Amino acid sequence: MITPVIMAGGSGSRLWPLSRSLYPKQFLALTGKQTMLQETVQRLVGLDVSTPVVICNEEHRFIAAEQLREINKVGSIILEPVGRNTAPAIALAAEVLQSQEQGNDPLLLVLAADHVIQDQVSFREAVKNAIPLAEHGKLVTFGVVPTEAHTGYGYIKRGDSVPNSNGYDVNKFVEKPDAETASNYLESGEYYWNSGMFLFKASRYLQELEKFRPDIFTACKKSLENRSQDHDFVRLDIAEFKACSDESIDYAVMEKTDDAVVVPLDAGWNDIGSWSALWEVNVKDANGNACKGDVMLEDSKNCLVHGGERLIATVGLEDIVIIDTKDAVMVAHKDKVQEVKQIVEKLKADGRDEFKLHREVYRPWGKYDSIDNGPRYQVKRITVKAGEKLSMQMHHHRAEHWIVVSGTASVTNGDKTFLVTENESTYIPVGTIHGLENPGKVPLEMIEVQSGSYLGEDDIVRFEDRYSRV
């Protein structure tokens, strides 16, 4: 049986303003109704696989857990306190799974959570073709059959074919080429795009990592010696993992091992690395426009328009990308979308939150939307899921007024606990310990009005929290 290892780290800054550092592209529904993480898991249906192991950043843990719960695929979620690239991430998964399997040596299917694969049947067939190779100790990578001379991907040159298989020995890995070199690669028929997907035994990967990068192997092993389990979350020894080198699996292992094999993959693969890539994979109208939301186009061609809550109208545009969110609008020419990352860097440098947060922020208990704010006030629309509870907390600088719009709230305000129902409210003074729970069967909707000298989210002192945020 195969165990999927899904890497769900990264910030996806080239897809700003939809993708933000605290809610990046792998958790967004960009090509359908499900998120990219959910689609990655669902495309495994039809393969003999176990529950996936997901690796993500500590700050994304509740988003990942909730999205897996929605599709009934809850498994272990390994939390990285800091990003250290793919070689350490895969080592963590291999070590955890070997300990859980108690002597068994699982096949690891390593996938990125933010790829699009349009032909799922061909994808599963490629995985099946790779299984015998991995079972015989090979480290299999999947090489995407190129459709154009793309300069944004690394390439893999194949060597001799492996007898009685659909695979080839890896001749070499090459970096992103210039246009002329990419064209030569395409014409030769010997090169594939490097997909960053792999299949191998857990033990074989660890053996090769220990051989070529013993420092990474040791650091990962040490970071797991004192690991803790919190619900489905696996927490590492922070200091030990921070000491680990930042290295990709290609540099650490695949370029050095003698057992690297490439299996061709021709399945409509795209890593959605930019808005132009999303335009390529989306359904288009007769004029080549790909649209989502309330959009009205006039004399416009080959545009990507992603609407939010309002009407977007265009006149006389061509090859333009328009992305609308509650707090930002991004307009760019398709030839310049790679430069969106520079806007994100400017937002960071200016100390603005738009690179990090959406106006609507998700929490393990539900979400809130900051609908208005001023010098000494902020208004939020809060949704608490049925049965969920906010932490018992206190603020040093702000008071809060809660008004229930629908549902019922169980409120702790100082030394009193009471119910607040529709059209009722309660006031929480500065410095008062308070808590909120939805004891009902339907979502609780409420308005929170904050007032005070400082309204930042870091003015929260937690005393009790079911989500281990104390």
For residue 344, give the DSSP letter.
H
225-237 residue pLDDT tens? 989 888 789 999 9
Is 101 a residue whose pLDDT tops 80?
no
CA distances from 384 to 61, 72, 134, 223, 407 (A): 18, 21, 46, 35, 9
| Contact assessment for residue 209 and residue 139, using Cβ atoms and an 8 Å cutoff | no
Q: Calculate the CA dihedral of residues 249, 252, 254, 257 and round it to 10 degrees.
A: -150
Q: Which amino acid is at 244?
A: C
Is 1 a residue whose pLDDT tops 90?
no
Residue-range domains of the chain with CATH? 2-270 (3.90.550.10), 275-340 (no CATH), 360-464 (2.60.120.10)
Q: H or E element: which one contains 38?
A: helix 36-42
What percent of the chain shows pLDDT beyond 70?
99
Residue 195: how many other CB atoms lie within 10 Å: 23
Q: Which amino acid is at 464?
A: E
Q: Is the peptide bond preceding residue 52 cis, with omega within 30 degrees of 0?
A: no
| Contact assessment for residue 52 and residue 72, using Cβ atoms and an 8 Å cutoff | no
pLDDT of residue 10: 83
Q: How far apart are CA 165 and CA 35, in angstroms?
A: 34
Helix, strand or coil for residue 337?
A: helix
Q: Which amino acid is at 55?
A: I
What tokens were used for 29? 């529904």
Is 401 a residue whose pLDDT tops 80?
yes
pLDDT band for 99, please (50, 70, 90 cuts).
Answer: confident
pLDDT of residue 198: 98
- In this prediction the pTM is 0.91
pLDDT band for 470, please (50, 70, 90 cuts).
Answer: low
What tokens were used for 391? 């932490």
The residue-averaged pLDDT of 406-421 equals: 97
191-200 residue pLDDT tens? 999 999 999 9
Q: How far apart are CA 378 and CA 375, in angstroms?
A: 8
55-94 residue pLDDT tens? 999 999 999 999 999 998 888 999 999 999 999 999 999 9
Average pLDDT over the chain, rounded to whole?
95
- Give Cβ neighbours of residue 418 (< 8 Å, ≥ 6 apart): 410, 411, 426
The residue-averaged pLDDT of 95-113 equals: 89
Worst-scoring range by mean pLDDT, 11-15, 76-80, 203-207, 337-341? 11-15
